[in-house]
Structures are given as structure tokens and as C-alpha cells.
Structure 1
């Protein structure tokens, strides 16, 4: 039977060469599904300070962006929501892995890195007809190495653990796209975390919860199930105007074409923009004292330790750290958390269906006037909670479908 792709594959499309114009690069910023629109807003805010930066139309799982190499550095430094900033090298239609090999061989990688630098090739796919996407990634490596061997007589090494250069292959139904990874390690690795809780929330998803909830950097935030402190640390850094990439190394620092003088000036400007955050705005608690210690240690490494008050305590017995009614006009009180559910750890000896209504009673009885945002991966969990959210937002924590439930706590908000 004739393949539905046969008409596409009669002739291989010419590869799109790596651009040479200084402001004509195409990028793709992958992000957790559900936060794409918020990522577009984040990029548009940066674009107000760069005439060359433009956000495209969000697609499921990411955002296309156009801009300069300076913009790529800016995106890596300041964006909280993407996992990477990928520079599009080229694309082609494909029938098999050999078409992808030719794409990789034809691109001018030598403009970006040397034969002495070690490579890593990663691959993702959506509805690709290839039997083995790993073999396609292997052929990308072969194409790059064969190009360098033809030019220099040598082949670059492959190092999957500590590469100098990361290449990303993305396969769609009918076309293959090759990207140069300007980020290096994923952007949710901010450079401050050395300790994790039992089921840590990645930093870019935590930032997504904060932005989608409606919380603003001037509002009070309390996470009574803080784990290793990711949510409160992200929030405190936002309030401090502390760029998320201020304390880490990026992939573009090992690539040609990126102006390191401009980068050093950009990073120093970001460092000078950091502002102190007064105590009394960010609060964290956890039933496990080890998690409280981790939160405070992580906050210290993240540069916001003085902004966060943390203590051990059971969320069911939680007391609001501030009186929401006494806050000045324009400042709101938020309880935002990633509570335990079937995908994580429930309190010892306690089923998720028992924990949810207990949490609801605590919220109703003690947190009147607060805004609440809870992330639930068990799609039945919000029913067990017996609170009526004003909004449910679908998000993905990796491959796990979740709901971000937004609840305004007023008297009588729990159903009996």
C-alpha cells in the first residue's frame, strides 16, 4: 500500500542553511504544555527592550521566536518558563534517516564550533513514521562528524554526559528540524539547587503556576507543602528582580558568534538590577523538618534567603502567616502549592481522598480572604477537595496531565 507520505518524499527539500544575517535567526523555546501563552507574554515583555526580538504564535509545548544572537542570550538569562532556547539550523522533508543525515552534513556547523569540541545529539518526535528515532539521531551525529572530517581530517568526539555542544533533532510527520542548543543544561536548572525534596517541582513549571495563578510579585505567598522550596524561591526571585539565569553557565558560551563582551555586560546589568526583598512576604512550611532545612539552604544559594520564612508544620493545622484583611489595598494573599496526590507521596497512613477534604476544611475555616492555587495530577482530586474553583487550567508536569485549580476563599466555599 502506498504510504500517505509518498508524495512528500519524492524529492528531498533543500536544507535551510544556518543564517548569517545578525538579526535573522529563528528560535524555538520548548516549555511545559499549558504555559505557552504565558511564555509568549514573557518574551513580549523582553521584546519591549529589543527591536529585533519577536514572539511568534504559540504551539503546543513551545513558542517560535525570531531575533538576534544577543536576543538569544537575553532569553536564556531572563526567561523563567522555557526549558531551552533552540536555534534553528535547518530543516528538510524526509523519507528515511538518510535524508536526515544529508541535512546534518550540509549545514555549516563549523561556523558555530570547532572539531575539538565534544557533541551530544538529542531527539524528540511527534508522529514520525521512522521505526527508530534513535537511529535518526545517530545519523545526525554521523553527518556532522563526516562534514568536519571532510573539512579538517578529524571528527569531533561524542560526550553524552558533559558535551561542549548540544544538537537537537525534532521529527515531525513530514519534516525534520535541526537545532543548536544555546542553553546547555535545561533552563529550569537555575544553578542554585543542590538538594531535592521527594517529588520536586521543576522551576519552570513553578514559575508557570505563579504566572497563571494571577499572583504578582508584590503579593504575599505561602506554600504550606513547600518540599524543597521551589515555588517560594521562584516567587522571591521575581520580587527581587533577580534574573533566573544569573548564576549558571549557558551553552552559547562555548559557541562561536556570541559576543562575550556583550554577554558579560548584560549579566552585570542584571546583577545590578537585583533589589532586596523585605521579610514578611514569603512563607513556607512542610511537615518534614528536613524539607524546611532544604528550603532555607536552597533559598540561600538562590540569593533570597532573607526574604523567606520557613518552619515545620502540618498543613492541616496551618495558620495564615498574615491577616489577608489587614493587607494594604492592592496587595493580595496567596496560598499556592503542589499538594500530595497519587502521583506523589500522601501523608503516612492517609489516603489522598482523606487528605483532600481535610485540607479543604483548613482552607475554609482559616484562610478566608485568601486566593488559593493548587496543582493536582489526580484528576479526581479536585472533586475530593469539595471546593469550587473559579477556574481550572490544564497543565502538564512532564507527561502527567494536571489541573491548576484557582479558588477564592470566602465563607461557605466548601461543599458539605
Structure 2
């Protein structure tokens, strides 16, 4: 792999969260970071690809564009795929999975196109092809232009590698981190989640405050690419001293199983010394000692008709408790229903963009500091 060449790096965003991911990439110094459909494009060498996987909280995947060429029929694709410098990127001893899509192109059969790429890789490089492989090569054909990319992440990046326990309807870590960012959270204030489930918001907030890299506990697909430098990667992963923090991040939930899961996860993530999880009803929550901060919550939305009436009273009592006890705190509520958000009677700002949460359309509703 040419270290000097700058690569085109594509950070895959959760639909609706492209803007905070772009802000995060710019803040972390990724060159030429700008929003594009589906994510953020930036440039850098391979060490920047590693760094994106290691440190970005909002990216779902980090893809690298390997090259592109025009092709209008399968024979042409076949010929060009065989001339492609696969050995610059891939190793002959590591299995590859190929995926292909085609739009507005004369090569319209994605399955046949995928086969041509697989044959080219196995015959010119000798690498085995397997649908089970964790290293993926992606072919996108759009308007007769074939673009080849590699998924450098492997497992999706919300799988931080240090979260064993999951409660039901979990918020993905990548989404939680971007919602925290959208609420203006920068690590300098306490956070409270009164319906914390397995603790995602609280743990992400604590990690941000401690400066812990989200990818510190896991392996990535780029470690199987040609020219991967294990020593340089180790050096990049070295982490400085964890700062002394005088803040507490609090989660509570009615469900004892959720509290157990959240405590286990906080322990695994190395943030248990600044997090506290307690079993309690929403009506019993109180602000922590010290400065005002952020209350962020992903309450149940109720997918079935008839749920909304029952939930309206839950949102109503949450709003009442926040208005009466949390003066000076900001609030962020993630929900699929504008009318449920309004049931809190909180002074809501205009809603954030629609975000796709596993097929459910959700939005972030925020307030300024409460009176």
C-alpha cells in the first residue's frame, strides 16, 4: 500500500446523522471532510483510515475507495477487473467476500458483475472467495462507472467490543454519540438518563469525558489488508493517562435487569468509577449534586395503536418531574412521535432531522436550559 497516496475515505453515517458525523470528522482533523449522500467523504493515508475506525464515534463503517474504471458490458468488466492491482490492497491468504450493486448502467445484473470480480480476484491474486469472509470488497456500478472499495471496519462500528449485555430495543452506540453531540454535549457536564436500558447514553457520555477511543477494544478488517503495519497501529492505539473527572454520569430504570446490564457494560468499558446506575421510577429522579447538565432519554415509542394513550401519561410525568426539579438542565428526547414529545409540555426547540433507527423513523427533540 502506498503510504504517500491520499485515499478517498468514506464514513458511512446513520441516515439523518450525516451532519453531526461531518462535524465530528472535522473536529478530529480529517482532511477535506464534507457531507455527501449517506455519509462523509474525506481524504488521508492508511493511518488515517485506522484512526477513523479507532476514534470516530458516529461512523457505522469506514470504506476506502480502491479505484474505478468505466465498463459497459461484462466482458469489459472482466478484462479490467483482471488488470486491477489487487495485490496492492489484498493478501492471497485472506478470504474475501464480494458484494455488488448496479444503478442506471448497461451492466444491470449485479450478481453476474459480482461473479466477474470474484473470478478476477481468485485467479489473479489467488485469494479464496467466501460468503463467510469478514473482509468485504464492494463493487458499485453507477452510470457505467465501476467503483471498487474495501470495507476496512469489518463488524459495524457500533459494536465497540466492550458491551456484553444488551437490554431490549437498544440505542446503537453510534447513534447515541451523535445525539449527545446534537445536544451540545462536549464532556464537561453531567448526564442523566432516567430510562437508561443497558446504559448506552450514560456510557458513551462517560467515555467521551474520559477521552477513551470507541474502537479501543476490538479488531478491524484493515488488519488483514496487504501492507498493514502492526507496529504503527499499536503506536496509534497507545492512550495517554485517563484524566481525573469530578462528574458523575447517572442512569436509572424501573427494570432491575436493565440496571444489571448497564452496570456490567460500564465495568467492561472502564467507566464504572464515574457512572452510577440505580433502579427507580421516573417520578423519583433528582439532579445530581454540582453543576446542571443534560438529561437525555430514549423513552418507549409504542409501535401499536393504543400504546400512545398509555405512553402519553409517561411522557407527561417525565415532563413534570423535569420542569419541577431540573432547572438549568437541558433535555434531549429521542422518540418517533411528535405528539408524544409534546405531551411532556417541555419548551421544545424545533425537532432535529428524521433518523432511521432500524426502520423506525425517530427524531431528537431538545430544549434550552429549563427555567
Q: CA deviation at 1:262?
A: 1.1
Task: Tell me the equivalent position of 1:186.
Answer: 156
SS at match of 2:366: strand
Task: Tell me the equivalent position of 1:236.
Answer: 206
Matched, 1:88 2:65: yes
Q: CA deviation at 1:223?
A: 0.6
Task: Tell me the equivalent position of 1:214.
Answer: 184
Task: Tell me the equivalent position of 1:66.
Answer: 43
Q: CA deviation at 1:63?
A: 0.8
Distance 1:99 1:313, change over 3 A: farther
Q: CA deviation at 1:309?
A: 0.4
Task: Tell me the equivalent position of 1:406.
Answer: 366
Q: CA deviation at 1:373?
A: 0.4
Task: Tell me the equivalent position of 1:258.
Answer: 228
Aligned-partner Cα distance in 2 for 1:115–1:27:
24
Task: Tell me the equivalent position of 2:88.
Answer: 111
Deviations 1:65-90 (A, max 9, x none): 11111111111111111111111012
With the length of structure 1 as denominator, give the TM-score of the two structures.
0.80
SS at match of 2:214: coil
Q: CA deviation at 1:293?
A: 0.6
Q: Is the 8 A contact 1:379 1:402 kept in 2?
A: no
Task: Tell me the equivalent position of 1:354.
Answer: 313
Matched, 1:314 2:277: no
Distance 1:388 1:244, change over 3 A: same
Within 5 Å, give how 1:68-217 maps onto structure 2: 68-93=45-70, 95=72, 101=78, 104-123=81-100, 133-134=110-111, 136-148=113-125, 154=126, 156-160=128-132, 163-172=133-142, 175-217=145-187
SS at match of 2:352: strand
Task: Tell me the equivalent position of 2:12.
Answer: 30
Q: Comparing 171-180 with 304-313, which one deviates more in the overlay?
A: 171-180
Structure 2 gaps, min length 5: none
Task: Tell me the equivalent position of 2:297.
Answer: 337
Q: CA deviation at 1:388?
A: 3.5
Matched, 1:44 2:26: yes
Q: Is the 8 A contact 1:282 1:308 kept in 2?
A: yes
SS at match of 1:243: coil
Structure 1 gaps, min length 5: 1-18, 48-52, 149-153, 412-416
With the length of structure 2 as denominator, give the TM-score of the two structures.
0.89
Aligned-partner Cα distance in 1 for 2:223–2:142:
29
Distance 1:299 1:84, change over 3 A: same
Please point out which of 227, 252, 256 is paired with 1:289.
Answer: 256
Deviations 1:202-224 (A, max 9, x none): 11111101111112201110011
Distance 1:155 1:242, change over 3 A: closer
Distance 1:124 1:43, change over 3 A: farther
- The aligned length equals 370
Q: Over aligned residues, Cα RMSD in angstroms?
A: 2.8
Q: Is the 8 A contact 1:118 1:159 kept in 2?
A: no
Q: Is the 8 A contact 1:40 1:55 kept in 2?
A: no
Aligned-partner Cα distance in 2 for 1:192–1:374:
26
Q: Is the 8 A contact 1:109 1:144 kept in 2?
A: yes
